[in-house]
Amino acid sequence: NTATQVVTSAGRRFIVSPVPESRLKEQ
Amino acid sequence: AEDTGVRVELAEEDDGRKASIALKLWVEDSRKLKGKYKDSGAIEFTFDIEREVPEGVAQEMVESGFFHESDAKIVGKSIRDRVALIKWRRERTVSSA
């Protein structure tokens, strides 16, 4: 698992993780 | 809801009571975005459906470098649509109980 965290200046936390291939539309 | 190219889903099951819900957002079709999109994956965050404004979260995502300024509107709309659906489902559950 390669989730990363970003905390904004307003104090909100964003957790970023890879999107499973199956959830992506064909481009 | 309209296909904005940005997908927003519940990151956990909605218990119907908490004002603060966990959402997950990712880009499904980057061609629908105006700005350059850096593929950073799915962004998980909590959102207070009673006090927060979707556009505010979208702006924070722009400031954090996830999206280009020109796409703040489309991201905000995607969150707003999902939140509206969650609220609608909650109201329906309450009225049927």
- The stretch B38-59 carries a mean pLDDT of 94
Length of chain A measured in residues: 27
Measure the CA–CA gap between B56 and B50, rounded to whole angstroms: 13
| CB of A26 less than 8 A from some CB of B | no
Asked if residue A6 has pLDDT above 80, the reply is yes
State the smallest CA–CA distance between residue A26 and chain B in angstroms. 8
Quote the longest CA-to-CA distance of chain A: 35
Sole residue written with tokens 């218990």: B15
CB A8 within 8 A of CB B63: yes
Closest CA to B32 of B65, B93, B77: B77
Asked if residue A26 has pLDDT above 90, the reply is no
Band of the pLDDT at B95, cuts 50, 70, 90? confident
Asked if residue B31 has pLDDT above 90, the reply is yes
Asked if residue A27 has pLDDT above 50, the reply is no
